[in-house]
Amino acid sequence: MFKPSRMILLAAAVALGAGCAVQNPYVRDDGEMRKSTTYGTIGAVAGAAIGAATSSKKDRTKGALIGAAVGGAAGGGYGYYVDQQEAELRRSMQGTGVEVQRNGDDLKLIMPGNITFATNSADIAGNFYAPLNNLANSFKQYDQNSIEIVGHTDNVGAYQYNMTLSQRRAQSVANYLTAQGVNGMRISTRGMGPDQPVASNASESGRAQNRRVEINLRPL
């Protein structure tokens, strides 16, 4: 009688052992293992199950091993995918004032207010179109992650006004990206107003840092 659990575990172990030799090792700053390892494990087990189930009785072991290898490679590939996307974004954003940060397999783009919008306005500044065009091209090329656009303000002025302004700015960026051909189904927007400062609002330099737009890229 076919014992899938035993066969699947064996196949997954073999596939993961092989995958460890070729994966691009990336460890998060907090020491956690990269997410591609998790994806690879899930992919390997799922692939082994499918490979075993779709093979003839005498070839089930071979089918499980092949399925685990293919599934593990596909599942673990997102870490490598982000490596390539990060490198491309750092190249295209160089000299624009846009900061690229990475945490595990998540990417964050930080766009300070001095290059994005005029004071009290949600109209995109003229010098910000070139970076946004580069971002749109990148997002169309790398289309395997969601795009969350978040607007932030300092704490000067009425709270509700800042909340509305931050949402309008996030939506302006989203509208421009979709107009350049980025799939709108991948995009979401939020306005955080002054609720998530990254610096003290007691100084002008701190307030300038807090006036920003962030784009978070995560696996779909």
Residue 203: which CATH number?
3.30.1330.60
In this structure, are 128 and 68 located in the same domain? no
Which structural domain, as residue segments, surrounds residue 9?
4-79
Q: What are phi and psi of 192, to 5 degrees?
A: -100, -5
Beta strands 187-191; 212-219: pairing state: unpaired
Domain count, the chain: 2
Predicted pLDDT of residue 43? 58
In this structure, are 58 and 129 located in the same domain? no
* Residue 72 within any structural domain of the chain: yes
* Domain edge (last residue) among 52, 79, 106: 79
Query: How many other C-beta atoms are found inside a 10 Å radius of the C-beta of residue 169?
Result: 28
Query: Per the structure block, which two tokens stand in for 161?
Result: 């006004």
Q: For the residues of 120-148, what is the DSSP string, one character each?
A: T--SBPGGGHHHHHHHHHHHHHS-SEEEE
Closest C-alpha among 63, 64, 3, 15 to residue 39: 15
For the segment 98-132, what is each residue's pLDDT rounded down to a tens digit?
999 999 999 999 999 989 998 889 999 999 999 99
For the segment 127-186, what is each residue's pLDDT rounded down to a tens digit?
999 999 999 999 999 999 999 999 999 999 999 999 999 999 999 999 999 999 999 999
Predicted pLDDT of residue 122? 93
In this structure, are 101 and 45 located in the same domain? no
Average pLDDT of span 1-25: 48
Query: How many other C-beta atoms are found inside a 10 Å radius of the C-beta of residue 5?
Result: 8
Predicted pLDDT of residue 213? 97
